[in-house]
Amino acid sequence: MRGTRAAPFPPRPRPKLVLLPLLTLLFCRTRPQGSPGPLQCYGFGPLGDLNCSWEPLGDLGAPSTLYLQSQKYHSNKTWTVAVPTGQSWVTIPREQLTTSDELLVWVAKAGQPLWPPVFVNLETRMKPDAPQLYPDVDFSEDDPLEATVQWAPPVWPPHKVLVCQFYYRRCQEMAWTLLEPELKSIPLTPVDIQDLELATGYEVSGRCQVEKEEDLWSEWSPILSFQTPPSAPKDVWISGNICGAPGGQEPLLLWKASGHCVQVSYRVWFQIKDQEVNQEETPCCSFSIPTQAEWAGVSAVNATSWEPPTNLSLACLGPGFAPHGVVVSSIPASSDLLVTWQQGSGELQEHVVDWARDGDPLEDLNWVWLPPGNLSAVLPGDFEGGVPYQITVTAVSPWGLAPAPSVWKFREELVPLAGPMLWRLQDAPPGTPAVAWGEVPRHQLRGHLTHYTLCAQSGTRPSVCMNVSGSTRTITLPDLHWGTCELWVTASTIAGQGPPGPSLHFHLPDNTLKWKVLPVVFLIWGLLLTGCGVSLATSGRCVHLRHKVLPHWVWEKVPDPANSNFSLPHMKEVPQAQPPGDSPILEVEEIEQVPITEAPQASAPLDSGYEKHFLPTPEELGLLGTPQAPGYGRNQPQEGRGVLI
């Protein structure tokens, strides 16, 4: 039986109008059997009571009366049934009626008919019970999948035929599908449902009617729910950096469950090089596999015989096979993203585009498979503005995978939520501060970074800011003013500049050139003054200054042994020469030389602890320039001779 789409419960067809000449004499017009109008009458089953109902009256306080008139066995016999006030239905027991009789029924109020009478054939105007559906459902052993449902009609006289309709729908759907053709109780045939999906839940329900009463259907049977056999997932992918640097997190094998509304257990297969195939049972829909696995597959437990496992080769192909030129762009007036790329070398059959929010776990990866030759994809989903998404395009072949470098995309770039954190580095050179800052996390950056802005404020001076390239995160600051300094950095996207990050405070000593040179200048100036003073004091033009400035042991010609570090015991102090002035006139007496007859004994040298000097000459004593005494020239000592004072 093949199905056609229908409303949840199709409307009942209108009955054929049958006019009775006899009723024309009594009323202007008569409704056909049962009538879909205000008044309806039918029996419950082949031997049930007669039920009549009508639309509620506007005046609930006025009583109404139901009239029945026999048209077959008791011609023109009429009897009435009182209706309680406010009630719009009444039941006539079967014992008060004659089998197979034909009745004319109408409702009157205060003796006035409310609607035209209806004709009721007690032999056919009956509403059967609902059919019964058996829970055992059989499925075909080949594709396409078919289901066979056994059923039983309601209890009915064997010589009378019932016509039954059956509807089915897939789980989570609202509309029902009518199975055609309609089935009859004689001969009884099962319900066949074709073109079903594996691993999917379905619902079936049916109703019946007397063959000639097209507008009087039974109630719907209780819904029968069943599940088709499980199947291997058709959509399998790998999450994680399978072809990246080793040592990372183990990849996660992901798959999308086939069918709907069915709990299926799966079996995961994988193989590591030179090892046996491993298999593990797991629920839906992820399984962690070793990084060294060369291939993996997924199958369903108790799957049909014609459903093979879904395999995926995990070998990494060369970068030449990977797609290139990946471009991700936003679609105007839509929350979707458009991805385009160029195909790599090699005869690769398919492409997979996967995407995930920044920071999401591996199992939250989304992906879509694309047929060969398709080099673009529209990623469905509610992509939010300011949220980073990592998008990867991978070429897939039976021999392995070739992923392109991932691309970070923002559907809409927004202003950053935070700024980077600063820290101080070692001064280079000393006294010149150097700082560095970290990256702003993508979820706080909310866009592609265009540049940083570094701001500095020294003391009460206004802050000064400068833009820094987005690839720079260290900088030296040679022009900072000494004193207390405050630094902060902001990040910017094309949407604008974000707030500043945490500030960095430090104290910078005065490192200007004048404070470095001033001590040197003072030192040189002091040395110059000292040198000048010494030179002036030791020159002949400043004798008086020499006596006042320098100590006497510096300017005296004959050093004082007392200023020496060495002295002899019982040394008598030699009187010092008087300064120039009233100097006495010295009489020099020439001593006659005595001939030496024998070599004198060498006397022991006197070590006074200081250098030997000649006694001061008259010129040094200031005698030059004074009148010479008589006999001065005669008494002048000759060279090499001593002078006795």
Per-residue pLDDT tens digits for 87-101 = 888 999 988 888 888
Task: Please state the φ and ψ torsions of residue 275, each to the nearest 5 degrees.
Answer: -130, 165
- Integer Cα distance of 162 and 152 in angstroms: 11
- Candidate from 178-192, 513-527, 546-560 with smallest mean pLDDT: 546-560
- Is pLDDT above 80 for 611? no
Rg over CA atoms, the chain: 61
Task: Please state the φ and ψ torsions of residue 216, each to the nearest 5 degrees.
Answer: -115, 90
- Is pLDDT above 90 for 627? no
| Contact between residue 389 and residue 443 where contact means Cβ atoms under 8 Å apart | no
- Is pLDDT above 60 for 393? yes
pLDDT of residue 189: 93
pLDDT of residue 543: 59
Residue range 592-602, pLDDT digits in tens: 554 544 444 54
Most confident among 386-390, 568-572, 585-589 (mean pLDDT): 386-390
Point out which residues pair with 491 in neighbouring strands.
452
- Integer Cα distance of 374 and 379 in angstroms: 14
Q: From residue 388, how far is each of 197, 355, 409, 448, 450 by CA, in Å?
A: 37, 10, 6, 9, 16
- Is pLDDT above 70 for 298? yes
- Candidate from 62-76, 85-99, 236-250, 616-630 with smallest mean pLDDT: 616-630
Tell me the pLDDT band of 23, cut-offs 50, 70 and 90.
very low
Task: Please state the φ and ψ torsions of residue 404, each to the nearest 5 degrees.
Answer: -85, 160
Task: Please state the φ and ψ torsions of residue 120, each to the nearest 5 degrees.
Answer: -125, 120
pLDDT (mean) for 464-487: 89
Whole-prediction pTM? 0.60
Point out which residues pair with 202 in neighbouring strands.
170, 226
- Candidate from 35-49, 199-213, 226-240, 396-410 with smallest mean pLDDT: 35-49
- Integer Cα distance of 131 and 151 in angstroms: 7
Point out which residues pair with 523 in neighbouring strands.
none
pLDDT (mean) for 576-596: 49
What is the chain's length?
645
pLDDT of residue 17: 32
299 vs 112, residue with greater confidence: 299
pLDDT (mean) for 319-328: 92
| Contact between residue 504 and residue 434 where contact means Cβ atoms under 8 Å apart | no
Q: Would you call 363 helix, strand, or coil by DSSP?
A: helix
β-sheet with 2-5: strand ranges across = 2-5, 177-184, 162-170, 201-210, 224-227
Residue range 324-364, pLDDT digits in tens: 999 999 998 888 999 999 998 877 679 999 999 998 999 99
